[in-house]
Amino acid sequence: MVEVEIPLGPATARRRQPFSDYSKKDQERLMKICGHSDGKPCITPQCVIVQTKEVQREKWVPVLIGEAFPKPTDSPSKVMRCWLSIGIFLYSATTTFGWFYGRDEPDAWTQGGVFPLPALIKYGHDNITLSPKRFLIQAGDHEECDIVAKSVETYVKKWMFPFPVEAKEDFPEFGLQVTIEEKCPTGVPPDNMIESYSLSISKEGSTLRAQQVWGFLRGLETFSQLIFYDEESNSYLLRTVEIADSPRYTVRGLMLDTSRHFLPKKIIFRQLDLMAQNKMNVFHWHIVDSEAFPYTSEKFPKLHVVGAYSRRHVYTKQDIKDIVDYARIRGIRVMPEFDTPAHTGAWRGVEGLVTRCFDENQVETNLPNLLDASEEKTFEFLSEFFKEVAADFPDAYIHLGGDESDLFIRECWDRNVKIQQFMERNNFYTTTQLENYYFGRLQDIVANATNHKTQVFWQEVYDNNNPSTSAIVHLWKGNTHQNIKDSARIITATGQRVIVSSCWYLNYHKYGADWKDAIANQIESNAKYYYCDPRDFEGSDEQKSLVLGGIVTMWGEMVDATNIEARTWPRASAAAERLWSPAESTKNATLAWPRLHELRSPYPSKNAYKSVAPAEFLDFGWPSLIRCDMGLTKEWNALWEVDDPNFSQFDYTAKKYYICGIHVKRAAFFVLLLTFLEIILYISAFVLGWNPGIVRPFKYVVLPLVFIAALLLWWGLRDHHAFRLLPYIFVTLIQIVFHPVPLLVHLYTKYADKDGDGIFTDKNDDGREDNNILRGMSDVGQTLACMLLIPVVIYLFFIYVVHRCRKYFLDIDAAQNKNLPNVRYQK
């Protein structure tokens, strides 16, 4: 095995571990994780693959990068689990405190936070000042690739630097070196596009590496999100960072419905832009439905002439081409949907295609909505029609709908004499058989007409009609997340691939923060978008990998150009993160909010940063504790070892999340001192016997001191709204309430110095005074053991935390002098 060069920065390089150093078992596991066996490189959360020095561009070797990638076999010890549970308990206790009405604070946002969260991200010490005019993206040969050229232009001119800043002479030049391994693709993004990338930004040099141009696009978006505007210096700053990123799901989509309300092309363009900014990659175009037929067919022009709302409410061939191309440049696939046999009311332009339908009195209804499956003509039409569709939409998938036909089967097939006769002729006893016949024919026809594109069907087709195993099942039903996951599990168990939309029906809008919260009177799956993970079921990895991803739906009944954007975004971003980021690091929507807030409006009032407090106490890191939940011992340790005030993938830079230095420092020491004192007192009392001389100071001195400590903390924290450190208060309260008071009450009532002679004594039966302390010893011991357990554990935790963070406590003055970027200090 040749030596391995790590493409990431020096901090991680130190901790690298060459492949050969791993045990056989680990090596095998790595190969499996990294998909190395077929010789193709990949980047996953668990590994990055880097080049060997000797065989450049040919051979790839997987390497774990350092501590950030602990071996999965490391599970937390029992003790550590105990710490973690305490930490998480305390953390959750703090989150109940908040701003007015317990809501999130209005100025919680990040600077240079990335959304969706990359698989791996580690921020460096510094920020780099960028000048829009001295900023270059060097992509070598790839600069000729239209995807690269156009996206670079869009990002540099529009998104990275949204407004001009004063040109300064001393801005250094900054170049981002782009390496893309594969050639510029000629067509639209394929269904197996590789979107992983790694990004390294440091003062020494910055590189963006990707295997395919699609990964480059995602990396470029990440890069643009790392830029933030700094008002004080009136310049753009760029976070230094090491990122290795890849998506968790391959299908991350948005469905727009252009039938219920027409959406102008420009609105669709804007949604594609927004999708790209959320790293979404499939535009599911529900182009026609019962209400209108805006798709323009050349072979069957009457379809849109009759079916569209008006001559203006159509997409011309050119429009479709433009949209497919616009999406291509952004790495987005365009999957069209032509929903049959139901939802076809608007197809009435072709005569005989839609059946006649009858109400219960056999009176013909004026809204037929189901295709005629009894006519050979229908299938001839479909064959021709899908040939044209296939030419317009080059994507590998085609969505064939198939939903909600049961709503119309009674009216249009059951009560239709012609259909009934056809069924009799063919020995179909139920309409389901007729439907199966329809779908069987449809699948063959479409396979031939579209050169075997992958077919996607809505859930019902799987439930009733069993599509071929190569087809994809698109889930849209289910009232709870469990429901949805069960469906995914059951369907994938049969080997069928699945796309999920059930959790993300964003068209159902409602009052409240539905992207994260449950909403009263709503079924679960109509809210909590951030928390729906369709792969979260018991099953093999292979089975889980059959869940390809999810598509956010924005059905068009109540939206058009006037409100679709405000209603879709940023609620869809919640799903975007769920589908892109590792589940372990995105468990908590409250933690995601500051990043999402920045994504929504990256340039909020800049003056708000004027009074921010130091960042290090931020990394004192209650938010980071949640990462312990990942079960990573080393991760946990690494957390305390960094000397980087910006370390934390949950980078809160909002002022109110900062914890001001001085008060907290003093108060924390004070609490620590008292904690020791108290324990020593207890131990002394225990050892020396219950001497009033010991107990009295405890009662009269220590308790007030503890109170003062609590007040100090409270005072110090209140000034700076640092609710994050409220565990201190919490602990102090536990200490005060649960620990000494009951104990003292217990001791005093049982062993009070009743005769006032200064000795804890009691009269024995024989009337002699007897020192009672030894007799009560076991009793007291039990009490102490019980009552001390919780506080002692918490004290130890305290000590541990303060010990690990001693740097921040001790070096605060030094840190202030360093004047780190991103960090401002409250004097």
Partner 1 sequence: MVRNVVTDCDIIQKALARAEKLAFRGFEINSTSADEDLEELKSLKIDILSGDCPTGVPQIDVDESYSISIPIDKTTAKIEANQVWGILRALESFTQLIFQAADGSLQIHSVDIRDHPRFSWRGILLDSSRHFLPIEIILENLDIMAQNKMNVFHWHLVDSEAFPYPSEKFPNLTAKGAYSPRHHYTVANIKKVIDYARLRGIRVVAEFDTPAHTGSWAGGKPGLLAECSDRNSPSSLIDPTLSQNYQFLEEFFKEALNLFPDEYMHFGGDEVAQDIKDCWQNNKALRKRMQRQGFGGDTKKLLKYYWKRFFESIEKARPGTKRVVWQEAAEAEGQLSKDTLVHVWDGTTIDLAKKSLSQLTRRGHQVIFSSCWYLNRIRYGPDWGYLNGKNFNFRGMFYECDPQDFYGTQEEKDRVLGGEAAMWGEFVDGTNLIPTLWPRASAVAERLWSNPEDTKTPEAAWPRLHEHRCRMVRRGYRAQPINWPDYCPPTCEGDVCLRFTSGAQGSSTEDATCMSGFKYLTMGCEYDAVSGATPNYSFACNTTNCNASPPIFTTNSAGVVVEAELGNLKLPVRVRELVKCYQIDSQDDLDTEEMDLPIFERAAACVQRYIYDYYHGEVSFFTPLNSESDGDQTLIFGQNPLNGDWRLSYPGLVFHLRFSNDYSTLSLNCQHDPCNSDISALLPTEPTVTCYQYDVPAYRDYYYCNPVWNFYKENT
Residue labelled with tokens 């190395």: 36
Instruction: Give CA separation, 811 vs 19, 642, 743, 821, in Å.
Output: 38, 14, 39, 17
Question: Is 577:117 a contact under the CB 8 Å cutoff?
Answer: yes
Tell whether residue 603 is a contact of partner 1 (CB under 8 A).
Answer: yes
How far from chain centre, in Å, is Cα 333? 21
Residue range at the interface with partner 1 (CB under 8 A); choices 16-24, 421-429, 601-609, 739-747:
601-609
Residue range at the interface with partner 1 (CB under 8 A); choices 50-58, 265-273, 395-403, 445-453:
265-273
Contact code string over 328-367 relative to partner 1, x by CB under 8 A: ----------------------------------------
Among 73, 101, 186, 749, binds partner 1 (CB under 8 A): 101
Among 47, 50, 107, 474, binds partner 1 (CB under 8 A): 107
Tell whether residue 102 is a contact of partner 1 (CB under 8 A).
Answer: yes
- Sheet strands (E) in 133-205: 135-138, 174-180, 197-201
List Cβ neighbours of 341 (8 Å cut-off, separation of 6 or more). 370, 371, 373, 402, 405, 435, 438
Question: Is 710:729 a contact under the CB 8 Å cutoff?
Answer: yes
Rounded-to-integer distance, Cα 490 and Cα 501, Å: 16
Among 563, 637, 684, 764, binds partner 1 (CB under 8 A): 563
Residue range at the interface with partner 1 (CB under 8 A); choices 3-11, 312-320, 423-431, 458-466:
312-320
Q: What is the DSSP letter of 630?
A: G
> Measured from the CB of residue 317, what is the shortest distance to partner 1 in angstroms?
12
Nearer to partner 1, 164 or 187 (CB): 164
Nearer to partner 1, 512 or 781 (CB): 512
Structure tokens of 128? 């780099």
Among 81, 302, 509, 587, binds partner 1 (CB under 8 A): 509
Backbone angles phi, psi at 270, to 5 degrees: -65, -35
Tell whether residue 162 is a contact of partner 1 (CB under 8 A).
Answer: yes
List Cβ neighbours of 559 (8 Å cut-off, separation of 6 or more). 261, 507, 567, 568
Among 25, 312, 768, 827, binds partner 1 (CB under 8 A): 312
Nearer to partner 1, 589 or 685 (CB): 589
Among 49, 274, 434, 685, binds partner 1 (CB under 8 A): 274
Residue range at the interface with partner 1 (CB under 8 A); choices 160-168, 463-471, 616-624, 811-819:
160-168
Question: Is 549:279 a contact under the CB 8 Å cutoff?
Answer: no
Q: What is the DSSP letter of 790?
A: H
Among 92, 318, 421, 782, binds partner 1 (CB under 8 A): 318
Query: Looking at the annotation, which residues are catalytic?
Result: 404
Rounded-to-integer distance, Cα 699 and Cα 676, Å: 16
Residue range at the interface with partner 1 (CB under 8 A); choices 358-366, 451-459, 562-570, 797-805:
562-570
Tell whether residue 259 is a contact of partner 1 (CB under 8 A).
Answer: yes
Tell whether residue 561 is a contact of partner 1 (CB under 8 A).
Answer: yes
Among 273, 375, 517, 629, binds partner 1 (CB under 8 A): 273
Exposed, middle or buried: residue 58 (CB in 10 Å: 0-12, 13-18, 19+)? exposed
Nearer to partner 1, 18 or 604 (CB): 604
Tell whether residue 508 is a contact of partner 1 (CB under 8 A).
Answer: yes
Residue range at the interface with partner 1 (CB under 8 A); choices 93-101, 113-121, 209-217, 621-629:
93-101
Nearer to partner 1, 270 or 356 (CB): 270
Among 604, 631, 689, 821, binds partner 1 (CB under 8 A): 604
Among 39, 100, 366, 425, binds partner 1 (CB under 8 A): 100
Q: 3-state class of 592 per DSSP?
A: helix
List Cβ neighbours of 734 (8 Å cut-off, separation of 6 or more). 790, 791, 794
Residue range at the interface with partner 1 (CB under 8 A); choices 434-442, 443-451, 600-608, 644-652:
600-608
Tell whether residue 159 is a contact of partner 1 (CB under 8 A).
Answer: yes
Instruction: Select from 264, 407, 406, 291 the least CA-distant residue to 347.
Output: 291
Write a three-state SS string for 369-420.
CEECCCCHHHHHHHHHHHHHHHHHCCCCEEECCCCCCHHHHHHHHHCCHHHH
Nearer to partner 1, 718 or 754 (CB): 718
Among 86, 93, 149, 267, binds partner 1 (CB under 8 A): 267
Nearer to partner 1, 97 or 669 (CB): 97
Tell whether residue 150 is a contact of partner 1 (CB under 8 A).
Answer: no
Nearer to partner 1, 273 or 811 (CB): 273
Tell whether residue 807 is a contact of partner 1 (CB under 8 A).
Answer: no
799-815: b (≥16 Cβ within 10 Å) or e:
eebbeebebbbeebeeb
Nearer to partner 1, 309 or 797 (CB): 309
Q: How many helices (H) does the chain have, and how many strands (E)?
A: 29, 19
List Cβ neighbours of 685 (8 Å cut-off, separation of 6 or more). 691, 694, 695, 698
In the chain, how long is the greatest CA-to-CA distance? 116
Instruction: Give CA separation, 152 vs 59, 194, 273, 331, in Å.
Output: 29, 19, 14, 13
Rounded-to-integer distance, Cα 794 and Cα 273, Å: 50
Rounded-to-integer distance, Cα 338 and Cα 291, Å: 13
Nearer to partner 1, 144 or 719 (CB): 719
Tell whether residue 507 is a contact of partner 1 (CB under 8 A).
Answer: yes
Question: Is 341:370 a contact under the CB 8 Å cutoff?
Answer: yes
> Measured from the CB of residue 827, what is the shortest distance to partner 1 in angstroms?
18
Q: 3-state class of 314 per DSSP?
A: coil
> Measured from the CB of residue 471, what is the shortest distance to partner 1 in angstroms?
29
Among 521, 749, 778, 819, binds partner 1 (CB under 8 A): 521
Tell whether residue 429 is a contact of partner 1 (CB under 8 A).
Answer: no
- Sheet strands (E) in 695-786: 761-763, 769-771
Instruction: Select from 520, 517, 524, 488 the least CA-distant residue to 503.
Output: 524
> Measured from the CB of residue 349, what is the shortest distance to partner 1 in angstroms?
17
Nearer to partner 1, 449 or 596 (CB): 596
Among 478, 602, 661, 716, binds partner 1 (CB under 8 A): 602
Tell whether residue 311 is a contact of partner 1 (CB under 8 A).
Answer: yes
> Measured from the CB of residue 480, what is the shortest distance to partner 1 in angstroms?
19
Tell whether residue 797 is a contact of partner 1 (CB under 8 A).
Answer: no
Residues of the shown chain interacting with partner 1 in the complex, contacts defined by CB under 8 A = 96-102, 106-107, 154, 157-159, 162-164, 259-264, 266-267, 269-270, 273-274, 277, 291-292, 309-313, 316, 318-319, 507-513, 521, 556-563, 565-567, 601-608
